[in-house]
Amino acid sequence: MKILRDNGLTIVLVTASLLTIGGMIVTGWSVYDHALTHHGAAAIGLAAYAKSRHFLSSMFENWESEFLQMSAYVILTAFLFQRGSAESRDPDGSAERDEDPSIARNDARAPWPVRVGGFALWVYSYSLGIALCLLFLFTFLLHLRYSAEAENAEAMMHGQPTVSIRASGERAILVRRCRIGRANFCRPPSSSCSRSSYVSKVLPNRRPSPRRMPRPGPREARKEPDSPQSHPFS
């Protein structure tokens, strides 16, 4: 069919997105219901979980990272070059897309922002990067909101005090910072991402595990008894 051939990319991407979201709902619902029943709470249905804070927080967290990646890629490729890359402009040449759109201001076939000029033309010129940045900001705020609500719901389930959105955001930033530390961006023990600081700031109700005593060396393990009567088989 012509409609499938002309819109194949959109159809495949929308279908893949819906399947991915559906998989997130089903798997997240199974885990969340298990946690509810484990704490003596009533389980919820699949439709109710799709509107829950737990699922919305996870979904907007994924979208947040994707929009951040795309917006950074679009903005950087507009100003920077990479010789030999198909996604980059030629640093020594010029392309038709690099021409100043204001030269077509009197063209009747040009888009209306080009004919109007000024701020409308500026927004039109950077519309893709602006749209992706706004989408990132939107998903970031929703992720922050639903994460705080999900954290408060879990705290109430365990009989712990709730926290504000600001405190939840600071805690999430700290957790991410310590996750980055695993990739050697933060290196203990001089880093603030050490286990003791993480436990004391993020998990205030838990105590750091005590250090294990060193095992005895080979000489200490083969220590001779003081007298023949002290040997258990004498």
Write the DSSP assignment of the chain as a string of letters: -HHHHHTHHHHHHHHHHHHHHHHHHHHHHHHHHHHHHHTTPPP--HHHHHTSHHHHHHHHHHHHHHHHHHHHHHHHHHH---TT-TTS--TTS--GGGS-GGGGTT-TTS-HHHHH-THHHHHHHTHHHHHHHHHHHHHHHHHHHHHHHHHHHHHHHTT-----HHHHHHHHHHHHHHHHHTTTSS-TTTSTTSHHHHHHHH-TTSPPPPPPPPPP-HHHHTPPPSSGGGSTT-
Q: Which is more confident, 46 or 212?
A: 46
Q: Which is more confident, 141 or 228?
A: 141
Q: In the chain, what percentage of residues exceed pLDDT 90? A: 32
pTM over 0.95: no
User: What is the pLDDT, as a whole number, of residue 183?
Assistant: 47
Residue 97 backbone class (left: φ over 0; alpha: ψ -120 to 50; beta: rest): alpha
**Looking at residues 10-26, what average pLDDT do you find?**
95
User: What is the pLDDT, as a whole number, of residue 196?
Assistant: 43
pLDDT category, 215, cuts 50, 70, 90? low
- Whether 176 has a pLDDT exceeding 60, the answer reads no
Residue 193 covered by a domain: no
Give the position of tokens 């040449």: 93
Residue 34 covered by a domain: yes
Contacts of residue 183, Cβ cutoff 8 Å, sequence gap at least 6: none
End-to-end Cα spacing for the chain: 94
The number of distinct structural domains making up the chain is 1
Residue 5 covered by a domain: yes
- Contact present, 23 and 53 (Cβ < 8 Å): no
At residue 9, what is the residue type? L
- Give the number of other Cβ atoms within 10 Å of residue 115's Cβ: 17
Residue 184 covered by a domain: no
Residue 33 covered by a domain: yes
- Whether 165 has a pLDDT exceeding 80, the answer reads no
Q: What is the mean pLDDT of the chain?
A: 76
Residue 133 covered by a domain: no
pLDDT tens column, 85-105? 877 777 877 666 667 777 777
- Contact present, 188 and 194 (Cβ < 8 Å): yes
pLDDT category, 112, cuts 50, 70, 90? confident
Structural domain boundaries enclosing 14: 1-50
CA distance 143 to 58: 8
- Whether 31 has a pLDDT exceeding 50, the answer reads yes
Residue 12 covered by a domain: yes
pLDDT category, 23, cuts 50, 70, 90? very high
Residue 3 covered by a domain: yes
CA distance 7 to 3: 6
User: What is the pLDDT, as a whole number, of residue 52?
Assistant: 93
- Contact present, 125 and 101 (Cβ < 8 Å): yes
CA distance 189 to 198: 12
